[in-house]
Amino acid sequence: MRTFKLEQSIKEIDMQTLKIEKSDKMITSHAGLALVGRAIHGYTSLTKGVDALFKQKSGTPMSDVIKSYIGILAQGKHSYVTVENVSGDRFFKEAMGLKKGTPSEVTLRTRLKKEAATLIPVIDQSNVDFLVNRKVPLTPLWTGHIALDIDVTPHDNSKTQKEHVSRTYKGMDGYAPIASYIGQEGWAIGYELRAGSQHSQSEFIYTLERNFDAIHRIMKERLIHEQALLVRLDSGHDAAETRAWLYELDSPLLIDLILKWNPRKEASAENKQKWYEYAQSLGHHVQWSAPRKGKQVATFSIYVDEKYNGKTYTNRRVMQITKRSIDKEGQQLLLPKLEIEGWWTTLDYSDQEILALYRDHATSEQFHSEFKTDLDLERLPSQSFDGNDLVLSMGVMVYNILRWIGLAGLMEEDSPVRHTAKRRRIRTVLQEMIYVGAQLYEKNRFLILRFGKSTPAFSPFQRVYQQLAYG
């Protein structure tokens, strides 16, 4: 057998230097704003509502100011100065339906701050308009309930002098907005700005009132006979007034509740031991499990009478007592460690089913992440509390529009390749449907968006636009 001589052939490839030119054609990198603008104009009362409040004879109309900033938010940006980047951009003007054009950064900042309190109700109304008029899907849980998940989610705004920034329960300086989502899709019906130090339960009933005003409108035309709503809350809302308010709510909806129990004084070592001994005394009424060596879990239900405003309410509470004698690393503990948890509920399902339904509440953490990270709304742009509250209100509407675009455009076989999912993250919608390059030109008085031959999102983009334009 011959021995081969091995050589490595190295050829230097002379890379051509790219020639960089500026086209005289009108090209946009964010064609997806055409979808956002169409959604606003076709399915909300935003322009009409704002113009009715601000009757201007000169200058940039307030509706142009609002829609300009919405167009910025819909690109995953929040800084006021970004508006300068779209100054004179014809596509941006046409896509967002601006009458005169974009305002300057100073005008945008000043007018949003000054008129925030007046504008927030209009924005909130427009958000509900979109959810109602677009008849967004509301996927129920396996129980048949539509989920309503409400949760406080701190926003880090440390090292700033913004109004009402203060220490949050996460140990950083910022705000503590309270967010509300409905359905497994995670439609946002509220994202109320609150001071960082404000307790979750403070003014919570007002939040519930606002939520249910929106929910009743959203679900009004969906009611076939009876529709059930499952309200899921964490322990920050463990208060008699919360339970009583939901029990007494005059609503066509059937309202059920799962609320994490706050043990408060029950969390002492002495009381934990009493709970463990009580579980041992229940016999077949308690379910014991051993997830691993050295870990023992008891699950059972108790019924508690609670008085509030002269009325007595009987509440079920699912209890879970956990005893650890060995830690998760396999280390033997000198003394066993006891933990107690509980969940108030109006449901009749088994203890384990109640726990599973509450664990699903954690899905709202993903929605928080999309809002804060994907839309870049963690650190808010205004020094004014009301100004930042307005930004969040506009953010809610943008979030819902992008959520719908993702469901309508990125779940079919013709969408850009993605893994199977129930919904698409806002970041994915921005990447695939908003930041799409296209040429804008006019022909026979029609504005035309021309996409590249290899644009992966063309088919879903066309489908979504047609749905928005023609229903």
Q: Among 292, 319, 342, which residue terminates a domain? A: 342
385 in a domain, yes or no?
no
Count Cβ atoms below 10 Å from residue 339 Cβ, excluding itself: 15
Q: How far apart are CA 201 and CA 398, in angstroms?
A: 27
Q: What is the pTM of this model?
A: 0.92
Q: Per-residue confidence of the chain (471 residues) as pLDDT tens digits?
A: 555 556 555 566 566 778 888 878 888 999 999 999 999 999 999 999 999 999 887 889 999 999 999 999 999 999 999 999 999 899 999 999 999 999 999 999 999 999 999 999 999 999 999 999 999 999 999 999 999 999 999 999 999 999 999 999 999 999 999 999 999 999 999 999 999 999 999 999 999 999 999 999 998 866 654 689 999 999 999 999 999 999 999 988 899 999 999 999 888 999 999 999 999 999 999 999 998 888 999 999 999 999 999 999 999 999 999 999 888 888 888 888 999 999 999 999 999 999 999 999 999 999 999 999 999 999 999 999 999 999 999 999 999 999 999 999 998 888 776 677 778 899 999 999 999 999 988 888 888 899 998 889 999 999 999 999 987
CA 351, 356, 357, 361 dihedral sign is positive
pLDDT recorded at residue 445 = 83
Domain extent for 272: 262-342
Q: Among 320, 342, 364, which residue terminates a domain? A: 342
pLDDT recorded at residue 62 = 96
pLDDT recorded at residue 56 = 80
pLDDT recorded at residue 424 = 87
217 in a domain, yes or no?
no
211: three-class secondary structure by DSSP = helix
Q: How far is C-alpha 62 from the geometric centre of its chain's CA atoms?
A: 26
Residue whose structure tokens are 């830690």 = 327
Residues in CB range of 295: below 8 A, 6 or more apart? 322, 323, 324, 325, 326
165 in a domain, yes or no?
no
400 in a domain, yes or no?
no
Q: Among 342, 376, 402, which residue terminates a domain? A: 342
Note whether 238 and 261 are within 8 A (CB): yes
144 in a domain, yes or no?
no
374-403 burial, b if ≥16 CB within 10 A, otherwise e? bbbbbbbbbebbbbbbbbbbbbbbbbbbbb
Closest CA to 158 of 174, 176, 171: 174
Q: How far apart are CA 316 and CA 301, in angstroms?
A: 7
pLDDT recorded at residue 226 = 62
460 in a domain, yes or no?
yes
Note whether 210 and 190 are within 8 A (CB): yes
210 in a domain, yes or no?
no
Note whether 129 and 214 are within 8 A (CB): no
Give the count of domains, the chain: 2
For 238, phi then psi, to 5°, come to: -75, 90
The DSSP secondary structure of 218-263, one letter per residue, reads HHGGG-SS--EEEEEE-GGG--HHHHHHHHH---SSEEEEEEE---
202 in a domain, yes or no?
no
Q: How far apart are CA 107 and CA 129, in angstroms?
A: 27
pLDDT recorded at residue 20 = 81
pLDDT recorded at residue 103 = 95
